[in-house]
Amino acid sequence: MASSFYGELQQLLQTHDLSFSRCLITLLTAPDGCPIRNNLRHDLSTSIAPILSAFTQISGTRNWIETYQTQIYAREIHTLTDTDNGWHFSALRASPEQIDNFALEEMAGTMESEAPNLWRLFSDLSLSRAGGKRKQPEPEDGGMGVEEKFDAEEEEYWNQVEGLTREGLDSGQKKAAAEKVRQRRSIVQKIRKVTAVSILMLSHNQKCNLFASVLGIFCHANNTPEKVIEVLSRLGISISINAVNDAITSLSKKCAVKLRDLGQTLLAAYAYDNLDIDLKTSVPTVEKSTDHLKHLTTGLMFPLPSSVSSDDLKCSR
């Protein structure tokens, strides 16, 4: 019966001088209002998964799918690097407001809305093991599979972090700790996805480096060795050490201006502190001074509460 159907179908196509591919394209691109198009679309929508799976058995289909999907990801990356998103950062013109206004949660939300396919891809990849979406073949020895071992190790790690392995916890405490574990794992997954997408954005446009700049400045503020920052820069996670120094210089100049403006309001408080630093040399020599003790004075200026006015400070007679 199947061979008879194929024969009749082939004869029908030859009669109308059509190939099967041309016939299918003609039906799918028929003008709106065509009854057969509406019926065909309804039929395809109910069987789209097995149809597309069957197409993957045809040589070249997978390459076309990969190319098409890659183009979608590339367009979304290009959209994310647009200047309207505010993720372009110039180290030479860095301002404190750019650092203060940086919010990873907001960045993640923009990435998810502007690049939904790319965000979904990283979500599926990062949750494929923890969420059990990807099936692994059963181990031949009857033991745990790779994914099961991973899940068990990760679960044990997070339980230790939140103290779930401690004895004496009641059901309420365990439930609260388990919810905290779930929230922390969700935050970590979001940070990893933002990092991965930011690396792709930086590779696409070197000026789209806000995430890398903030991380580089953070490393500098925490006395991270320069070699570590350079490694992170090569990985696309941070800006270079020279760019970090340029950003610090720019931030220092603009902070000095803000301090000057604050002092001119006459509504600032000042605090000073003396400290001594012993700068020891690893190999003392005759030429070098033996006086290693340095005496320094630090100053701190901070604004007074908004309720304080200049008249309140006129307390002398």
Question: Are 22 and 160 found together in one domain?
Answer: no
Whether 81 has a pLDDT exceeding 90, the answer reads: yes
Question: Are 93 and 232 found together in one domain?
Answer: yes
Question: Are 91 and 193 found together in one domain?
Answer: yes
State the Cα angle at 239 between 233 and 240, rounded to 5°: 70
Residue 59 belongs to some domain of the structure: no
Question: Are 167 and 308 found together in one domain?
Answer: no
Nearest-angstrom CA–CA distance, 66 and 185:
31
Give the SS3 label for residue 10.
Answer: helix
69 CB-near residues (< 8 Å, 6+ apart): 117
238 CB-near residues (< 8 Å, 6+ apart): 212, 215, 216, 219, 229, 232, 244
Residue 306 belongs to some domain of the structure: yes
Question: Are 121 and 223 found together in one domain?
Answer: yes
Residue 109 belongs to some domain of the structure: yes
Residue 128 belongs to some domain of the structure: yes
Question: Are 165 and 204 found together in one domain?
Answer: yes
Mean pLDDT of all residues in 267-280: 87
Total H helices, total E strands in the chain: 13, 2
Question: Are 95 and 202 found together in one domain?
Answer: yes
Helix (H) or strand (E) holding 212: helix 210-221
Supply the angle between the helices 210-221 and 171-204 in degrees, to the nearest 10: 120
Question: Are 274 and 223 found together in one domain?
Answer: no
pLDDT band at 146 (very low <50, low <70, confident <90, very high): very low
Structural domain of residue 305, as residue ranges? 268-313
Residue 53 belongs to some domain of the structure: no
For the chain, percent helix, then strand, then coil, each to nearest 5?
A: 60, 5, 30
Residue 295 belongs to some domain of the structure: yes
Question: Are 21 and 166 found together in one domain?
Answer: no
Taking the alpha carbons at both ends of the chain, their separation in whole angstroms is 113
Q: Which of 5-19, 117-131, 278-292 has the lowest mean pLDDT?
A: 278-292
Residue 57 belongs to some domain of the structure: no
Whether 229 has a pLDDT exceeding 80, the answer reads: yes
Mean pLDDT of all residues in 25-39: 72
Q: Which of 295, 95, 104 is nearest to 212 (CA)?
A: 104
Residue 259 belongs to some domain of the structure: no
Question: Are 165 and 227 found together in one domain?
Answer: yes
Whether 185 has a pLDDT exceeding 70, the answer reads: yes
Supply the angle between the helices 226-234 and 210-221 in degrees, to the nearest 10: 170
Question: Are 214 and 282 found together in one domain?
Answer: no
Whether 67 has a pLDDT exceeding 80, the answer reads: yes
Looking at residue 142, its pLDDT comes to 46
Domain count, the chain: 3
pLDDT band at 75 (very low <50, low <70, confident <90, very high): very high
Q: Which of 158, 152, 163 is nearest to 184 (CA)?
A: 158
Question: Are 105 and 161 found together in one domain?
Answer: yes
